Structure 1
């Protein structure tokens, strides 16, 4: 079991969103299919947006909340999140969407664990808000993917 503060978890989540943005950007550079390239560009911008949201979220929270400790704080790792995903140069739009939704599920699972293990109602609320944000972002990603499919 790892001990971390709320700030540590938010910082690392923010960094993961940044890494995912770079990952989508790099994958998009190798794409020949226009629709897949558009989807990857959207996902890149989407992840940058989430990175900025977490940055602002952290600035808006009190230091007392950010300094709260957790006895349950899983190690977040982009490699783990991508372990079950077959990534190749000419991925289809469907494969990219499945990958993006799986990565969203990774954050949803993380925040669900943080909500369950929170001792303080204030800290629980922080992670509940992040959980709800990720669930909404997953819906938005799926909706955008469907719109691109219809083009």
Structure 2
């Protein structure tokens, strides 16, 4: 997908979360370790919820912000999901799955942090700040929840 506007960026982010949720759910059924299956199911549900929340941004965001071009995005390295279902999470250990998911969210945070520092239009700045807050909050929640799962 070519990202030209902030609306495109939000849609692209939504699609990344959706793809990740689908892949995690698929891999949960194939993983041999029960604890990793629980983790993958939890992460799949979390990513599906993230997809729904990001979709609401598309529906509720200021039209002016959504139509603003994202020139600086082109200079940022695209987010890599690292894994597809061709190289599934089903083959990774509990800790490796956590590492991959944390890295994915850290890339999203880095992207939004970069864009927030460059946003010139107040509506766009507000939109990017809200997306950044969402990603940071959810990343912290994932770290806490997966830490608790390690203790089980």
Task: Please give the range of the TM-score, normalised by the shorter of the 2 chains.
Answer: 0.7 to 0.9
State the distance in 2 between where 1:124 and 1:57 align: 14
Question: Mapping of 1:1-151 within 5 angstroms?
Answer: 4-74=4-74, 80-82=80-82, 89-151=90-152
TM-score, normalised to structure 2, is: 0.87
Give the deviation of 1:51 after TM superposition: 0.6
2:143 partner SS: helix
State the distance in 2 between where 1:32 and 1:146 align: 20
Asked if 1 retains the 8 angstrom alpha-carbon contact of 2:3 and 2:12, the reply is no
State the distance in 2 between where 1:109 and 1:81 align: 14
Give the deviation of 1:122 after TM superposition: 1.8
Aligned-residue CA RMSD in angstroms?
A: 2.2
Give the deviation of 1:116 after TM superposition: 2.0
- Unaligned residue ranges in structure 2 (runs of 5+): none
Give the deviation of 1:76 after TM superposition: 7.5
Give the deviation of 1:88 after TM superposition: 6.0
